[in-house]
Homo-oligomer: A and B are copies of this chain.
Amino acid sequence: MKFGIIGAGAVGGYYGALLAKHGFEVHFLLRSDYAHVLENGLMVESKDGNFTLEAVNAYCIAEDMPVCDVVIVALKTTQNHQLSTILPKVVKENGIVIALQNGLDIEKDISDIVPHATIIGGLCFLCSNKVGPGHIRHLDYGSIRFGQFAPDGQAAGITEELKMISDVFTKASVPVHLADNLGKARWEKLVWNMGFNGLTVILNVTTDRIMNNEASLSLVKEIMFEVIKGANACGYDLEEKFVDLMITATRQMIDYSPSMKLDFEAGRPLEIDEIYWRPIHAAKKSGFDMHMSRVLAYELEFINRLNK
């Protein structure tokens, strides 16, 4: 079975290297790091032990890659316009595509590009960074929650494909959880992401600073409650007590810069569309106005423009 990794940054580089280390055949599509990785391999510094993948199947254009049974999309969503040219070349007929990305409706877009593939969404609970060419630093966590895409947005259940992918990642030492309803799982992830990602950029702080200030903690909770209501409007039965769960989990986390904060610091475009506007528009279409999230989205657009 051949695995393809599209984008070998903090997420794709980390999981791809783990798969390869555990004996799977992995092919990496790289861009800026291509020459460096071809010569020096892929280095993973990890709290679970450092390792270097010496011989990497590295490619800089999709045409050179073999057709793969499982293709893992791990680009920043701001680069997703590239997928319409890449995926048809590398995904096997009736293959599997796994989107390890933030935000809403990612799988729908991929399904439009490769309609015969099985599309799986993966929600990563990973704290990792690309600190140099072909050099990943894994700081904490690492589990993935997989769910299968159903075109109607409803529960696809725990399918055979999900179980197979679960086995693969488990063999690669990745803690795996399965979700029978991908749409609901994506909204659950949004509760945290819409609460924290934007505020860490707007206020320019790590999560602990938001947690330790009464005003910002109130704000993050109110945003989270709004996301719950947005999910409810879209037909997903998230409960308000989920907010307490997220707050408690965050209190136990390390002082954390979410992906959007890291993008901001690195001068990369922010994933405002996928993490904010898509859920805001989905909720609006279902009759609920996410006023508070909209303020954050506008502020982020302003900051994003300056940051480029």
Contacts and interface: CB of A to CB of B under 8 A. Distances in A.
Interface of A: 199, 202-203, 210, 213-216, 218-219, 222-223, 226, 291-292, 294-299, 301-303, 305
B202 A299 contact: yes
Nearest to A219: B298
Contacts of A223: 295
Contact of A305 (B215, B219, B222): B215
Contact of A295 (B213, B219, B303, B305): B219
A223 B294 CA distance: 11
A266 to B, nearest CB: 20
Contacts of A214: 301
B298 A296 contact: no
B202 A298 contact: no
A287 to B, nearest CB: 16
Contacts of A298: 215-216, 218-219, 222
Contacts of A297: 215
Contacts of A219: 295, 298-299, 302
B294 A215 contact: no
A296 B297 CA distance: 13
B294 A222 contact: yes
B215 A302 contact: yes
16 contacts: A199-B299, A202-B202, A203-B303, A210-B302, A213-B301, A215-B298, A215-B301, A215-B302, A216-B298, A216-B299, A216-B301, A219-B302, A291-B292, A292-B295, A295-B295, A295-B296
A215 B198 CA distance: 15
Contacts of A218: 298
Contact of A216 (B202, B210, B296, B302): B302
Contacts of A292: 291-292, 294-295
Nearest to A223: B295
A134 to B, nearest CB: 35
Given A213-B305, A215-B305, 13 more contacts: A202-B202, A203-B303, A210-B302, A214-B301, A215-B297, A215-B298, A215-B299, A215-B302, A219-B295, A219-B302, A291-B291, A291-B292, A292-B295
A302 B226 CA distance: 20
Nearest to A289: B291
Contact of A299 (B203, B301, B302): B203
B222 A302 contact: no
Contacts of A222: 294, 298
A304 to B, nearest CB: 8
A226 B218 CA distance: 21
A210 to B, nearest CB: 8
A203 B302 contact: yes
Contacts of A210: 302
Nearest to A303: B203
Report the 4 A-B pairs with minimum CB-CB distance, sorted nearest first: A215-B301, A291-B291, A219-B298, A295-B295
